[in-house]
C-alpha cells in the first residue's frame, strides 16, 4: 500500500509539474513565442527562393527587393508593412495576391511551397538568420515578425488602429487623448474598439468629415502613422464613434 501511495504521489506531482509548466508557457507566451530571429529557414531554401523571386516578382518589386512599380520588400517598407504581424499572415497575403497581372489571373498560381521559398528569400534579404530547418507553411504559423529586441513601436507609414477620447484642438485640428498604443490592422479582422485606453495624445490629420457632435466620445480610428508610433500624428483613413462617453 505504501508503495502504491508513493507511486500515486509521484504521478500526481509529475502531472502537476507538466500542468504548471504548460501554464507558464501560456502566460509567458509572448516571451517564448518563436520569431524570425530564431533561424526559421535554411540558406539553401533562401537561395532557391531567390530564383523563384527573380522569375516571378522582380519585375514589380525590383531585383533586389528595392521596389519599382510596386512597393519595396526590404528595409523601412518591409517593417511598415509587416512588423508585428506573422509569417503565416505574410504567406497568406502573398499567395493570395501575387504574382500581379492586370486581370488577376496569375495570383495564387505558384503553389504554396514556392511562395514559402520566396518568403525565405525575403526574410534572408532583410537580415534574419538562416537555420537548420526549412520554413514550411505549417512552421510559419504564429511566427512573429518583430524587431530583434522584441515587440516595439510600429514604424512610420504603418496602417494601424487606435482608440481614444476626441477633443477639439486649435483651429480645425482634432486630437485624441488617452490614446491607446497603435495596433496593427489585419485585413481579415475587426479592430478591438474596446481596447484599453492609454496615455497617448495624437493629432488627427486629414479628417474629411465634421466631428463636432462627437467631442468627448470614445472613438475608433484607422490611420497611417505619421512618425514612429504616430508621434507626429495620424493620417486618418476612417474614424467612428464607439461610445458617447470616454472611459
* CATH of residue 113: 1.10.760.10
Low-confidence ranges of the chain (pLDDT < 70): 1-32
**Same domain assignment for residues 49 and 141:** yes
**Same domain assignment for residues 53 and 133:** yes
Is 79 a member of any domain? yes
**Same domain assignment for residues 48 and 136:** yes
**Same domain assignment for residues 198 and 234:** yes
Is 236 a member of any domain? yes
pLDDT at 224: 96
Is 16 a member of any domain? no
How many whole angstroms separate alpha carbon 194 and alpha carbon 218?
9
Strands 200-205 and 234-243: parallel
**Same domain assignment for residues 123 and 208:** no
What's the domain range around 64?
43-145
Q: Interior CA angle at 189 toward 166 and 177, to 5°? A: 15
By the 10 Å C-beta count (0-12 exposed, 13-18 middle, 19+ buried), 108 is classed as middle
Which among 145, 173, 201 is the end of a domain? Answer: 145
**Same domain assignment for residues 140 and 175:** no
How many whole angstroms separate alpha carbon 106 and alpha carbon 228?
35
Predicted TM-score (pTM) of the model is: 0.79
Please list, in sequence order, all residues whose beta carbon lies within 8 angstroms of the beta carbon of residue 12, skipping any fewer than 6 positions away: none
**Same domain assignment for residues 66 and 116:** yes
pLDDT at 172: 77
pLDDT at 98: 93
Q: How many CA atoms lie within 13 A of 167 on its CB side?
A: 14
**Same domain assignment for residues 123 and 175:** no
pLDDT at 32: 57
By the 10 Å C-beta count (0-12 exposed, 13-18 middle, 19+ buried), 76 is classed as exposed
Is 20 a member of any domain? no
**Same domain assignment for residues 133 and 163:** no
**Same domain assignment for residues 135 and 195:** no
**Same domain assignment for residues 62 and 125:** yes
Q: What is the pLDDT of residues 185-222, one digit of tens each?
A: 887 778 999 999 999 999 999 998 889 999 999 999 99
Please list, in sequence order, all residues whose beta carbon lies within 8 angstroms of the beta carbon of residue 105, skipping any fewer than 6 positions away: none
What does each C-alpha distance from 177 to 161, 169, 231, 235, 239 come to in angstroms? 14, 11, 13, 16, 15
Q: Which three cell numbers stand for residue 116?
A: 514559402
Is 21 a member of any domain? no
Is 32 a member of any domain? no
Is 215 a member of any domain? yes
- Give the count of domains, the chain: 2
Q: Where are the alpha helices (DSSP H) in the chain?
A: 2-27, 29-32, 43-56, 58-61, 75-82, 87-97, 112-125
pLDDT at 151: 86
**Same domain assignment for residues 135 and 78:** yes
CATH of the domain at 171: 2.40.50
Amino acid at each position: 500500500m505504501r508503495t502504491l501511495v508513493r507511486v500515486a504521489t509521484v504521478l500526481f506531482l509529475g502531472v502537476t509539474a507538466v500542468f504548471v509548466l504548460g501554464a507558464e508557457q501560456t502566460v509567458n507566451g509572448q516571451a517564448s513565442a518563436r520569431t524570425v530571429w530564431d533561424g526559421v529557414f535554411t540558406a539553401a531554401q533562401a537561395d532557391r527562393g531567390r530564383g523563384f523571386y527573380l522569375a516571378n516578382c522582380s519585375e514589380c518589386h525590383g531585383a533586389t527587393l528595392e521596389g519599382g512599380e510596386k512597393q519595396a520588400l526590404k528595409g523601412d517598407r518591409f517593417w511598415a508593412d509587416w512588423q508585428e504581424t506573422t509569417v503565416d499572415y505574410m504567406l497568406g497575403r502573398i499567395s493570395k495576391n501575387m504574382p500581379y497581372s492586370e486581370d488577376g489571373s496569375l495570383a495564387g498560381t505558384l503553389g504554396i511551397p514556392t511562395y514559402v521559398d520566396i518568403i525565405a528569400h525575403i526574410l534572408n534579404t532583410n537580415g534574419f538568420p538562416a537555420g537548420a530547418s526549412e520554413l514550411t507553411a505549417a512552421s510559419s504559423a504564429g511566427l512573429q515578425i518583430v524587431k530583434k529586441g522584441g515587440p516595439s513601436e510600429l514604424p512610420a507609414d504603418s496602417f494601424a488602429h487606435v482608440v481614444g477620447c476626441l477633443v477639439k484642438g486649435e483651429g480645425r485640428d482634432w486630437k485624441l487623448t488617452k490614446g491607446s498604443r497603435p495596433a496593427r490592422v489585419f485585413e481579415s479582422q475587426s479592430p478591438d474598439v474596446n481596447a484599453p485606453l492609454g496615455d497617448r495624445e495624437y493629432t488627427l490629420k486629414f479628417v474629411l468629415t465634421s466631428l463636432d457632435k462627437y467631442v468627448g466620445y470614445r472613438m475608433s480610428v484607422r490611420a497611417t502613422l505619421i512618425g514612429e508610433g504616430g508621434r507626429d500624428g495620424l493620417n486618418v483613413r476612417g474614424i467612428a464613434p464607439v461610445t458617447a462617453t470616454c472611459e
